Structure 1
Amino acid sequence: MNFIKIGEFNICFEKFGHGPIAVLVIPGAIGTAKSDFDIQFNPKHSGCLDFERFTFICVELPGWGRSIPPERPIGPNVLHDDADRCDELMKKLGYNEYSVYGWSEGSKVAIIMARKFGGSRIRSSIVQGLMTFHTDSASKNIMWSRDIQNWDIELLRKYEQAYGDDIDRVEDLWQRHIDLAIENYGRYYPQGLLGPVQDGLRKIQCPTLVLHGDRDFFIELKQAEHVAANVPNSRLIRFPNCGHNLHHVESIKFKQTVENFLLDNNN
């Protein structure tokens, strides 16, 4: 666990591996390496990512995990500000070039970073469970998760452990995120997260891998298809038997898919 001061935030991050290819990893909402990627960063698990070929920097976004105080900002600019802060983090760590992988809420930050820094500092991007435009069905399903009693008990326990067994903190952060970010998503981004596709997705200059679980309760397939159809040099890989947490369910396929993509696009 390490901290770097960026603006008003003490940004917490964890480093895994010592390989030549640097990868910024951005967890989902309120997420940490412990809550979201316990398999991927556990050397005892067969799904652990390769620490010899890669160096992974897993960030805890401002206001979440241990990147406090202050509390997380709200409003339509927060994800774009996250993107700038994450790039500044990598600069301060000495990485002039790197790849980025984001899951769920983190994938929104990752795709913004790909648009801003792809083709210069960012070599390649991977997004999983990404929602770039509002739909009523997605918002309804995500709102269902507001009550953490609806969560899978094992998943909830991961977040509880990541927050020092403070379940009240987990619940407060999650409900605040749902109420302020998800409920207002359509109003914040009426033309999509990156604006009109001709100025947003179609201007992304780095190779991009889009991962989607066909059983995703929250994010519809059309979200992934929209990104893959509009981002140049992009590819969609579907996991037919998985949902939103596909990296937990098919960790070996996830590992192979991600590592092969990173190796192919960092030569």
Structure 2
Amino acid sequence: MPPGAEVGFIEVDGGRVRALTAGEPTAPPIVLIHGGGTDNAAISWYRLIEPLGRTHRVIAVDLPGFGGTTGIPPVGGPWEQADLVARTMAAIGVEGAVAVGVSMGGDVALRLALRHPGVVDGLVLIAPCGLVPILRDRFAHGAAWLTTRLPERLLVALGGFTGRFTRSLMRAVVHDIATLPEPVIEEFAREATAPGASLAFVRYNLATIGRGTMLNYAMDEVASITAPTLFLHGEKDPLVPIDGSRRAAALMPDARLVSVPECGHLAHLEAHDRFLSEVIRFLDGIRR
């Protein structure tokens, strides 16, 4: 459990969304949206809930199929996930918040701003998905699409098998695994070996990887997002190219990109001090 976090559950869609919270209820709210794979709020935001809770009301949710959220089937694509986040915010009376998302969660935060602009006061997007037309190159994209044609049960089983090699997989995602807190690595490994742990991410991939293009490609839409936006992207990100964040930041009317050197896919964990200082400066600007 992240330092400073309290655990609560929110009744939504007949199930219970787990939320890790911190800060005063009357403080400006921040909604944190974790990434894909077998991530959850406790993993992604292990280092951030306590410091952000000093000035804000922090609400870090587990999306359906991840972490401690129960009773809600994994909803698939970022569009449905964004709608679920909006319903969760409404259920706890949060009318507007800064949405912070990483990777898949960055895709969800983008959709939240596009589909529910009235509830988004600002965006912090960490290596967000949804901003590249294909995965790396045509060959890699075609291979990924062919993989999604396999039966869902087999894809989940494959996810469970690869989960046994979590530490090796994480070395391929970050620039230097030594920058990650050991509890984060251990929790990733525990989540990865849980029965059916990869189902939610499998459904996200099924919803977003098309035959020749990414179905969640949002570059043509981002210019309509007027909320202040901060992109943070590791310059050595091996999963999501930084060019997508760079192009989106240039198209959006109130956005800027912070590129983090010697950093991979998880800038909020790998470069925590730099990330926190940039986010606090961004949040202070919104409050002013």
Note if 1:64 corresponds to 2:70: no
CA, structure 1 residues 136+185, in 2 after alignment: closer, same or farther (shift >3 Å)? same
Equivalent residues in 2 for 1:184-195 (5 A)?
185-187=208-210, 190=213, 193=216, 195=218
Aligned twin of 1:46: none
Supply the distance in 2 between the matched residues of 1:192 and 1:231 (Cα, whole angstroms).
Answer: 21
Aligned twin of 2:86: 87
1:156 CA displacement: 4.3
1:191 CA displacement: 7.0
CA, structure 1 residues 167+178, in 2 after alignment: closer, same or farther (shift >3 Å)? same
Which residue identity lines up with residue 48 of structure 2 in the other structure? Q
CA, structure 1 residues 236+220, in 2 after alignment: closer, same or farther (shift >3 Å)? same
CA, structure 1 residues 60+160, in 2 after alignment: closer, same or farther (shift >3 Å)? same
Which residue identity lines up with residue 151 of structure 1 in the other structure? L
Q: Which moved more, 1:185-194 or 1:127-136?
A: 185-194
CA contact (8 A) 2:35 2:102 kept: yes
TM-score by length of 1: 0.81
Equivalent residues in 2 for 1:138-153 (5 A)?
140=140, 147-148=162-163, 149=165, 150-152=168-170
User: Aligned residues: percent identity?
Assistant: 18
Aligned residues: 249
Aligned twin of 1:181: 204
* Higher normalized helix content (fraction of residues): 2
- Compute the RMSD of aligned alpha carbons: 2.9
Residue 23 of structure 1: which of 14, 30, 34 is its match? 30
Residue 128 of structure 1: which of 123, 126, 129 is its match? 126
Supply the distance in 2 between the matched residues of 1:227 and 1:159 (Cα, whole angstroms).
Answer: 30
CA, structure 1 residues 179+92, in 2 after alignment: closer, same or farther (shift >3 Å)? closer
Note if 1:159 corresponds to 2:188: yes
Supply the distance in 2 between the matched residues of 1:129 and 1:59 (Cα, whole angstroms).
Answer: 19
Note if 1:168 corresponds to 2:176: no
CA, structure 1 residues 193+229, in 2 after alignment: closer, same or farther (shift >3 Å)? farther
SS at the partner of 2:226? Answer: coil
Supply the distance in 1 between the matched residues of 2:200 and 2:212 (Cα, whole angstroms).
Answer: 16
CA, structure 1 residues 177+266, in 2 after alignment: closer, same or farther (shift >3 Å)? same
Supply the distance in 1 between the matched residues of 2:228 and 2:215 (Cα, whole angstroms).
Answer: 21
Aligned twin of 2:177: none
CA, structure 1 residues 188+37, in 2 after alignment: closer, same or farther (shift >3 Å)? farther
Supply the distance in 2 between the matched residues of 1:203 and 1:233 (Cα, whole angstroms).
Answer: 10
Aligned twin of 2:96: 97
Aligned twin of 1:230: 251
CA, structure 1 residues 219+191, in 2 after alignment: closer, same or farther (shift >3 Å)? closer
